[in-house]
Amino acid sequence: MVRDVSFGQYFPTKSVLHRLDPRGKILMFIAYIVIIFCTFNYVSLGITAAFTLAFLVLSKISPKFYFKSLKVILIIVILTSLLNLFYGSGEPLWQWWIFRITLNGIHRAVFVTVRIICLILASSCLTFTTSPTELTDAIERLMKPLKVVHFPVHEVAMMMSLALRFVPTLLEETDKIMQAQKARGADMESGNLIKRVKALVPILIPLFVSAFRRAYDVATAMECRCYRGGAGRTRMKQIHLSARDFIAFALTALMIGGVIVCNILLTATI
Amino acid sequence: MSCVLELKNLGFVYGKDTPFEKKAVDNVSLQIEAGEFIGVIGHTGSGKSTLMQMLNGLMRPTAGQVLLDGRDIWENPKKIREVRFRVGMVFQYPEYQLFEETVAKDIAFGPQNQGKQGEELNKAVQSAAAFTGLKPELLGKSPFDLSGGEKRRAAIAGVIAMNPEVLVLDEPTAGLDPMGREVLLSQIVRYHKERHNTILLVSHTMEDIARVADRIMVMNKGKLEMFAPTKEVFSRGAELERFGLKVPQITKIMQQLRQKGFSVPEGVLTVDEAFEALLPLLKKEGRLW
């Protein structure tokens, strides 16, 4: 069912990661993405993987939810690793028809698999431990410099937080509409592709109608509370950097440093 | 009379083996006779909706069985659609399921899935629309141009058009104005009288249930606490209040009159009945007190 998706959910388990400054978390996450694609040998890959595991343990969230978020992208992982496996350069170890496996291909497949898995785990960790409001708040703050070029930072952030707010609502709604149409004998599990796409119409139309209705309701509710854009708005929750944020920065720097040192000292595997 | 629906030790657990595990329905067993009008009451979160959704196979029980005419509905999971045609389900706020260009097409969605065509289909649509009191000129309109009450009727007609043997209605009158509630309820009663099918009505309005139900199911915390004739259930007011429910106001008034020593009958459920019971008293004494 649609409700089983755990990717992008927030779990308030009150771990140390939950208390970090969301701005810092986003910046560290960006640094992490860059560094995970700069790992060129197994030692540096191992360092990043170890740090990722440490994050997951610190988040105090059941591994089951991380597995669930991995399940969604399983096919992508398999496809990309297979592609990499068969398109490596160098001497073939094994060959059949157009498929040839080389040592380089195996290395590539391992790297790409570990990288994607780490990426998904880390981004799950970020959304699991940061509430949508914190996240958009942080994005708004980080993008503030763009105001100089008249980029509507506040409006974009507000749109994002509204969109995020309605993800679970719309999922629930989809579920309800599906049940109602199934009760009228809608068949969504059998038939060829065209039949299945057609079977979506009775679900999508009511869903769109209700999404528009909700959008109007929210707009009215915001206007009733005198919302008129970002100018002059203050915040209830101020975010501050504290000691634990600096420790987190230091650890991230350690990881980046480790990867760079390994890349310089050791020869690249891929 | 024959038993149309039987539940055997039915149970449902949400989010099994996760920290959010919750028992929604717990060991419910009961039998419903063909042609009965059953009222279902219970406060929010008592497991009514989950129970209702298991009756037509929208949710698969985690324990126990649902027997329709003596056969387990999950005997052949591929044929669960046939069960859904036989046990019609009208959800809460059903107007959100409307999607077709015209009201007639939307009502035809269910019977079409059943395989009805041509004249037969047309007849099913027309009679369902008539039962719910939809004016014929509305059938050609877009369902999104109707008023709230008309939308509700159209959506209910969409389920009735499948001519189910058992009809489950989850709070069909929620959010309607008093007049709309009244009319819709009497149409459901008329439908029941004419088609002689089994109806399960979930409602928070005790007055409605008291008026129409033969027997009442009382749900609390996933358990079936009572399943008895309407008069009997509403004579156990103290117990009902423990489950966050109430007896109809008129029943309470009559009970209190009895306690004060007036000779009024027990188990009065509607204002009309109360009127009949009080009139001779007033005539005899010239005044009530």
Task: Show the domain range for A6.
Answer: 1-130+240-270
Please list the alpha-helical segments (H only) found in A59-188.
63-72, 74-86, 103-129, 132-142, 153-183
With a pLDDT cut of 70, the percent of chain A lying above it is 97
Q: What is the mean pLDDT of chain B?
A: 89
Q: Is residue A245 part of a domain?
A: yes
pLDDT score recorded for residue B287 = 60
Contact B113 A209 (CB under 8 A): no
Closest CA–CA distance from residue B89 to any residue of chain A (Å): 6
When pLDDT is averaged across residues B95-104 and rounded to a whole number, the result is 91
Chain A within 8 Å of B181 (Cβ-Cβ)?
A: no
Domain total of chain B: 2
SS3 of B200, please? strand
Tell whether B221 and B267 lie within a shared domain: no
Tell whether B218 and B289 lie within a shared domain: no
Q: What is the pLDDT of residues B2-32, one digit of tens each?
A: 888 999 999 999 877 666 778 899 999 999 9
Chain A within 8 Å of B97 (Cβ-Cβ)?
A: yes
Q: Is residue B241 part of a domain?
A: no
Neighboring chain A residues of B96 at a CB cutoff of 8 Å: 173, 176-177, 180, 206, 209-210
Q: Is residue B242 part of a domain?
A: no
**Residue A4: which pLDDT band, with cuts at 50, 70 and 90?**
low
Tell whether B27 and B149 lie within a shared domain: yes
Tell whether B212 and B278 lie within a shared domain: no
Chain A within 8 Å of B107 (Cβ-Cβ)?
A: no
When pLDDT is averaged across residues B46-65 and rounded to a whole number, the result is 91
Kindly tell me if the per-residue pLDDT of A3 is higher than 70.
no
Kindly tell me if the per-residue pLDDT of B289 is higher than 70.
no
Q: Which of A28-37, A167-176, A249-258 has the lowest mean pLDDT?
A: A167-176
Tell whether A1 and A119 lie within a shared domain: yes
Tell whether A188 and A83 lie within a shared domain: no
Task: Show the domain range for B9.
Answer: 3-236
Q: Is residue A141 part of a domain?
A: no
pLDDT score recorded for residue B124 = 93
pLDDT score recorded for residue B180 = 87
Q: ipTM of the assembly?
A: 0.85
Q: Is residue A144 part of a domain?
A: no
Neighboring chain B residues of A200 at a CB cutoff of 8 Å: none
Q: Which of A5-19, A185-199, B190-204 has the lowest mean pLDDT?
A: A5-19
Distance CA A84, CA B182 (A): 68
Tell whether A16 and A122 lie within a shared domain: yes
pLDDT score recorded for residue B188 = 92
B97 versus A9: the higher-pLDDT residue is: B97
Q: What is the pLDDT of residues A224-260, one digit of tens each?
A: 998 887 777 887 777 788 899 999 999 999 999 999 9
When pLDDT is averaged across residues A75-102 and rounded to a whole number, the result is 82
Tell whether A7 and A123 lie within a shared domain: yes
A40 versus A231: the higher-pLDDT residue is: A40
Which CATH number fits the domain that encloses residue B163? Answer: 3.40.50.300
Kindly tell me if the per-residue pLDDT of A1 is higher than 50.
no
Q: Which of A79-93, B131-145, B208-222, B236-250 has the lowest mean pLDDT?
A: A79-93
Residue with tokens 């609502």, as numbered in its chain: A169
In Å, how far are A51, A133, A141, A145, A160 from A151, measured between CA atoms? 36, 20, 13, 9, 15
Tokens of A231: 């100018």
Tell whether B219 and B268 lie within a shared domain: no
**Residue A30: which pLDDT band, with cuts at 50, 70 and 90?**
very high
Tell whether B262 and B213 lie within a shared domain: no
Tell whether A52 and A186 lie within a shared domain: no
Q: What is the pLDDT of residues A108-134, one digit of tens each?
A: 899 999 999 999 999 999 988 988 788
pLDDT score recorded for residue A185 = 87
Domain total of chain A: 2
Q: What is the pLDDT of residues B114-154, one digit of tens each?
A: 999 999 999 999 999 998 989 999 999 999 999 888 999 99
In Å, how far are B91, B92, B170 from B42, measured between CA atoms? 16, 15, 12
B162, B155 Cβ separation under 8 angstroms:
no
Tokens of B213: 């139900």
Tell whether B30 and B159 lie within a shared domain: yes
Chain B within 8 Å of A63 (Cβ-Cβ)?
A: no
Q: What is the pLDDT of residues B29-46, one digit of tens each?
A: 999 999 999 999 998 889
